[in-house]
Amino acid sequence: MGLYRISAVSYANTLPYVYGLTRCPEIPAMELSFDYPSKCAEKVISGEADIGLIPVAVLSELSYYEILPGFCLGATGRVRTVLLVSTVPLNDISCIRLDYQSRSSVQLARLLARDFWKISPLWVDGRTEDDKRQLEKGEARVLIGDRTFAAEKLYPYSYDLAEAWVAWTGLPFVFAAWVANKSIDPAFVKQFTHCLRFGVNNIPEASRLAEDNPLLRDVNMVSYLSENLSYLLDNSKLRGLKLFREKILTLS
């Protein structure tokens, strides 16, 4: 077959993976593109990509999939870049606008609202123009990615979704995993995983990739990548992933 097509995420939280897949001394032959999470999912589901760092909430939409071992995009506590930002406290929220760039975080917010926070807001699907729209009184918004660093300063209330999940379940949260929609050559998987490990093991160097991003100018990237993100797909994260997938089946 031809080169494997890889869809990776272009947010700051994946800089170790970006660094590994572009700077590793032994990069396997592949076609690499960078997208936001829901677009990664679309590419893997449609077959436009063979492997993607995709939201775990969409696994059920694949007729066949393999989760590549070793690495994911996860958190064991406060993650900072998956937030519910609000104009009012939780119990006063009347409407939550969802992030068009997200799939797992949107489902997580719905679960937390229903079963942990015990609130019943109106849910509104997100649109690209929401990025330029200020929330009105009583509104909140699920927001992911680099935009959260500025947004958390704009609104009086913000709630970290990963932190809330851990408080609720006692398990880490997996936002996205490296997923293939077909069987992948084990030799490629070994090389690919080696590159991911290379990136995760070189976070200070990977953090420098953010130096030209104005959204990240005031962020301590080494601290964020080292302390707020957790990249190893270990047994506790697999249990958290399994529990999340079971719980989203109960959402209407």
Read off the pLDDT of residues 68-80 as tens digits, 9 standing for 90 and up. 999 999 999 999 9
- Number of structural domains (the chain) is 2
Q: Give the CA distances from residue 23 to residues 99, 189, 196, 208, 225, in Å, rounded to whole numbers and listed in that order.
A: 31, 17, 10, 13, 18
Shared domain check, 180 and 163:
no
Give me the pLDDT at residue 11, please: 87
Coil, strand, or helix at residue 141?
strand
Written as six digits, the tokens of 208 are 């420098």
Question: Cα torsion for 146, 148, 154, 160, to the nearest 10°?
Answer: -160
In the numeric block, which tokens belong to residue 124? 């509104």
Task: Say what the pLDDT of residue 38 is.
Answer: 84
Q: How far apart are CA 82 and CA 143, in angstroms?
A: 6
Q: Is 87 in the same domain as 164?
A: yes
Q: Are residues 177 and 66 in the same domain?
A: yes
Q: Which amino acid is at 65?
A: Y
43 and 163 belong to one structural domain? no
Q: What is the CATH number of the domain that holds 123?
A: 3.40.190.10
Answer yes or no: do 41 and 161 share one domain: no
Q: Among residues 136, 169, 202, which one ends one of the domains? A: 169
Co-location of 59 and 109 in the same domain = no
Q: What is the pLDDT of residue 128?
A: 61
- Res 120: pLDDT: 96
| Residues 67 and 108 occupy one common structural domain | no
Identify whether residues 160 and 94 lie together within a single domain. Answer: yes
- The sign one gets for the Cα dihedral 139, 218, 52, 167 is negative
> Are 62 and 130 members of one domain?
no
- Residue span of the structural domain in which 138 resides: 82-169
Looking at residue 88, its amino acid is V
Do residues 15 and 139 both lie within one domain?
A: no
- Alpha carbons 18 and 85: distance in angstroms, whole number: 28
Structure tokens at 242: 């399994």
Q: H or E stretch including 45?
A: helix 37-46
Would the pTM count as exceeding 0.75?
A: yes
Give the tens place of pLDDT for each residue, 168-185.
Answer: 999 999 999 999 999 999
